[in-house]
Structure 1
């Protein structure tokens, strides 16, 4: 562990404002990105990011001396808070329209036509909340279907179906974008 990070953590534990600002500057981007990947709304993601970092300042026992472990902890707190935010939204379960699932896109398309990560994130952000949440957790949160089902309090088979439908919609969106 580098001394700079150790001094930073010690300063946060002592509630030093300068150390808290440096801690914020070091971790706000990954925390914001984790929240935004789930909620898809900048304002909500920023609020979740601030709440997550404030939680660390209020409860310094959550601090970890390893910077990579600290980032993982912060990302997990932000992801859980984002999921809670989605749960509170009234239209979470009703926003998913029942539709016919089209055939998946051809997996053999050339590599230069594959969308990059930013296009995928943008496409996911345009999906309904239910699809967006499940796809974000599966693709960016590295969670399996059982974990996603437990977090969202859904049946695992429902999560798999919604993932498949969301992925189909995402492919359609990305194909439309590439044609333009």
Structure 2
């Protein structure tokens, strides 16, 4: 039995030290996930903390069908999305990005020179675009999963994703 499974079992028995150990084990990774969804680092940290509280509160629902980290990551993403829904920044109106077609092709032809360049360009994207792009490219969620998490149509997610990629490429080609 791996360490996280043992810690989960101890958490189920009410062991606060095990909760702290799980927190130490996963907090950095979950903070990074949270920061990809919520751009403000303080808000991202608050959302991550809230997600850990939710996870420990619902630890009995963890069935081990996926890794604890994957289960926790889903809680973190959903908590961050809830946070953004309260702030109403999940989607960007199609009118906010003139010049981008509605074509939902995944073809994007650009080879960025550096990771830093991509990070800078990502930070310039509208929040809704950045969110969909991060959930799809970085976190690996499918369109249907993102649509469910965000409470929007799958076609909206797909077009947001394509528009986000195009906007990112445009920023990169223009050297941000």
TM-score normalized by the length of structure 1: 0.76
**Using the alignment, how far apart are the partners of 2:87 and 2:47 within structure 1?**
15
**Using the alignment, how far apart are the partners of 1:141 and 1:171 within structure 2?**
19
Residue aligning to 2:104: none
2:142 to 141, 144, 149: 144
Q: CA 1:24–1:119 in structure 2 vs 1: closer, same or farther (change >3 Å)?
A: farther
Displacement, 1:93? 4.2
Q: CA 1:6–1:144 in structure 2 vs 1: closer, same or farther (change >3 Å)?
A: closer
Residue aligning to 1:128: 126
Spell out structure 1 runs of 4+ moving beyond 6 A: none
1:100 and 2:103 aligned: no
1:84 and 2:106 aligned: no
Native 8 Å contact 1:115 1:174 kept in 2 = no
Structure 1: stretches of 5+ with no match in the other structure: none
Aligned residues: 170
Structure 2: stretches of 5+ with no match in the other structure: 102-106
Displacement, 1:33? 1.7
Residue aligning to 2:32: 33
**Using the alignment, how far apart are the partners of 1:5 and 1:154 within structure 2?**
34
Q: CA 1:154–1:28 in structure 2 vs 1: closer, same or farther (change >3 Å)?
A: same
Larger radius of gyration: 1
Native 8 Å contact 1:15 1:57 kept in 2 = no
Native 8 Å contact 1:95 1:128 kept in 2 = no
TM-score normalized by the length of structure 2: 0.78
1:150-177 CA distance string (max 9 Å, x none):
3323333332222222112211223344
1:117-167 CA distance string (max 9 Å, x none):
x65344323311111111111112222323323332333333222222211
**Using the alignment, how far apart are the partners of 1:56 and 1:62 within structure 2?**
9
Native 8 Å contact 2:47 2:80 kept in 1 = yes
1:70-95 CA distance string (max 9 Å, x none):
00000011111111222221354466
Native 8 Å contact 1:138 1:144 kept in 2 = yes
